[in-house]
Structure 1
Amino acid sequence: MIDAKASGIEHAMMKRLKVFQANQQHAMILTRDYNREYHRNLKINHLNAEQALNLFDYFQEAVRDTVPAVVDPDTLVVPRDALEIKKTNYWLYCLGDLIRMKVTFFESNQSRIDTVSYFDQFGNEVQRDRYDVRGFLSLRESLDFDGNVANETMFTPTGKIVYQSYYRRTPAGQAINSLLRLVNYRGNDYYFDNLDELLRFFFDEINQNAGSHNVFISDRSYIVEPGLINMVTPRKMVCYAHNVMTTVPDEPLTSPLFDEVKFELSSPRVDGMILQTAEQLADLKQVNHTKKSLVVIPSAVLDNTELAVANVPMKQRPAHRLITVARIHEQKHLEHTILAFELIKAQVPDATLAIHGYVNDDKLYQKLIKLIASKGLTAAVTFCQYTVDLSSAYQNATLYLSTSRYEGYGMAMVEALSYGVPIISYNIKYGPADIILDGHNGFFG
C-alpha cells in the first residue's frame, strides 16, 4: 500500500518506477490493501493513477484520480422528522433523545463525507457507510449484534454494487472473512475463500490485460507472494530483498534464513531474486546453493532532477547541524544516535540533531524522549514530522549520523551524500561499505 507516510520499501518501489520510466519501459506499482485515502496518498508521494493501481480500485472501476460526481452532504437521505445537530467535525440527526444518524467528514470545511453511521432504537450502530476521499460512497458495512462487521458491500463511483464479503466467527470467537464475491464482473459472479485468492485473480487479470508474460517483482513478500505464486497466466516472478535475509542480522553465515527466503530460493514458481549489495549476494551463496538467477541492483536511485540540484556550500549552512533519517523502530538503534550526539554536544555546545522519520513504535518513541530529557538534550534534539521532500533538511545539514543495527542498503545515506552531507555510520550489514569511502565522504564509527 502507498501510505501518506511511506516506508523505505515503498520509496524503493517508487524510485525503481522512475528508472523504468526513464528508460521508456512500461511499469506500474500494484497494491492490495483497501484504503479510502489511496489517491490522496498517491499525490502526496508525487504519483498518479497511471503509475499505481490498487486491487479494490480496479474492481470498483475507480482507477482515476477524480470521480464523475462528488456526493453533497446536504443531499443525504436523513431520518424523517429528525432534529439536525451540526457540530464542528460531524453532524448528528436525532429522533427525540435517540441518535439515528451521524455524519463525519474528511475536511474541516465539511465538503467531503468520511463516514455515515446509522443507529437502532437501542443506540447500537447497525450500518456504516464509508466514502472515498474523492467523494463517492465506496464501502457499506453491516454490523452484527456485538458491533462487529458481518458483511461488506463495495460500490463503483456511480453506485453499482461490484463486491461483497462476509464474516463469520470461529468457536474461539475470532472473526474470519468466510466469503468474497465479485458481482457481475465481466458478466459473471466470482467467489473466493480469502483475499489471497482474490489477489491471484487480480494479478492474472492485470497480466492478461497487458498481454501476459510480464515480470512481477515481489517487494512485500508476506503480502503479495500468495497471489503471485498461484497465478495461472504466463509470467515471470522476481523477489526483491529489501533487508537482511537471516534471523540474526549480523550473523548471515551461521544463522537461519527467514522461512520466506528459503521458500523463494526453492520454489519453481520463483524465477529469481534481486539483492542490494554484492556482499549480501556472496553471503547468500555461501549458505544456499540455489540455481536461481541472483542479481545485485541497489534500491537507491537519484534522477536527473535530483542530480542537477546545486548544493548549498558547507560554509553557508547552519553550523554543527546534525541529521538522521530513520523511522522510530528498534532496527534504527536511535538510542545510540542520541548517545553519540551527547558526546558531540559535550565538545560542540551549539550542535543540534534533527531526527526525520515517522513513529513506527510509540513505546520506543516515548523511551527516546525520556532518554533525551535525562541527558539534558531536549532543547538540542528535534523529532521532525514526516515529509516526502527532505531536500531542505539535507541542504541545511552538516553531518549525517546512522546507527542502524542492520539495513538492506541505506537509501537515506545516498540521498545525504548527494546533497554533500558527510556520514558517520556503523559498518553494518549491509550497505554502508558500498556507500561510504572511509575518510573521504564519511567515517565508520
Structure 2
Amino acid sequence: MRVRSKFCCQECGHQSTRWLGRCPGCGAWNSFVEEFGGRQGAPGPGPAGGDVPRPVTEVPVSEEERFPTGFGEVDRVLGGGVVPGSLVLVGGDPGIGKSTLMLQVACRLSLDMRVLYVSGEESPRQVRLRAGRLGTLSSGLFLVSETDIDVVERHLRELAPPVAIIDSIQTMYKADVASAPGSVGQVRECAAQLMRLAKTTGMSVFLVGHVTKEGVLAGPRVLEHMVDAVLYLEGDRHHFFRILRGVKNRFGSTNEIGIFEMQGTGLVEVANPSALFLVCHSREDVPGSAVVASLEGTRPLLVEIQALVSPAGYGIPRRMTTGVDYNRVAMIAAVLEKRLGLNLSGYDIYVNAVGGVKLDEPAADLAIACALASSFRDVPVDSGMALAGEVGLTGELRPVTGVEKRVREAFKLGFSRFLLSGVSISPAMEEPGLVAADTLAEALELALKI
C-alpha cells in the first residue's frame, strides 16, 4: 500500500501536499516538515458507552462536580476546582515554574486520591529529589518516566488515577507517526489520544506545554482548541512573583488570575496581591508615578504606573513601554498633546507597570495620562489617590466596570481619594473620598498638585 505524505507547518499546523518556503497560514519561513502516516481519519473522542443522538431536552442534567486542588489560586483560575474528565493545558516559558506548580498540585491532590505524574524530561529519581526539596512527598503520588504515549495510556488504565499530569506534551511520541517528538503530528496525535482517554474514563489530565520564543505554545495552535482549559504561567525570572492566567476555560471564566510568589520551598499563594505590587511604592510626592486600580476578572489589583518624559537627544524621540500596551500609550500621548496642549512630540516617553505585571484593560488610561503629565510638568500626583478611567480621543473620561471592588480595595490599602469618571459613580455609592471628573483636563487638575 502506498504511504502518503504531507507537509505540516511546525508553527501553526497548516498542511500542504507539497513543500512550501513560506507558510500561507502564519507567514513563517522554512517551517514545513514532511510527515508520514498521519491518521487524518482517526476517530474523535466519544462518550463512554457509545451514546446515541437524542433531543437536548431529554439529556439528563446533574450538578457539575468539582474537586479542589488544594491551591485556592489554581481553583480560582479553573472556575472553582478540577472538573472530572477535563483536559487542561498549562503553558509557560522555560524555567518559569510549570513543573514546580504541577508537582505541588499533584502532592496536594494525592492526599485524597491517587495521582500519576508522568515525566518525559526527568527520571523518577530527579523528580523525587525535587519533591523532597519542595516538601511535597506523599504516598499517593506515583511517578513514572516515559515518553511513549501508548505505554503511558497503559499505565493510566492499569492504575486508574483520578488525576494524571503529563510533563511535557512535547516529549511524548506515538510510534505510528513518522515524525520527531514535539512536531505538529506528534503533539496533535498524543493530545488527541489523551483527550479520548479523559473523556471516556472521567480522568482529569493536565498537560504541561512549553512556549516558543514568539510567546505561543510549542506545537500546533489546534492543541489549544482540543483541550478544555488553557492556563498560562507568566512572570519574569528577575521578579519573584508568578501569575497563572486562564485564556480558555469551558467550565468557568477566562478573566481570572492566580498570583504566586516564588520561594525556596516552591510557589506560595499571595493573599494580598495589591500590597505585593505596591511594596516599593513611595508615599512621598514623586513626579511621574500614579496608582491604577485594575480589575483582573473578579480580583482588584492596585498597580503603580511610572512614566518618564525627557527631551529627545536625537532627531526621532523614543517610545518604550513595559507591562502596558504600546499603542494605547501612543494614543494617550496624542490626546495629551492635541487636547491639553502638552508638547510631547520632541520628548522620549517611557512607561512601566511596576513589578512586571501586564495591564491590558482601558481603565489604566487615566493613570498613564496622569503619570505622563506629571513627569512632563515635573509635578507629582497626589500620593494618596488611586485612579481608574478610560480616556477617549476627544479628551473625555469614560466609565469603567467593577467600581465598587476597585474603590474598596484602594481604601483598604490606605488610599484616601479615588478619582474616576462621574458616570461611574452611582447614587448608592456614598464614599467621602470619591472624586469625579468628566474630562481628562479636569482629572489632571484634581490629581496633580499644581
What TM-score, normalized to structure 2? 0.29
What TM-score, normalized to structure 1? 0.29
Higher relative contact order (CA 8 A, sep 6+): 2
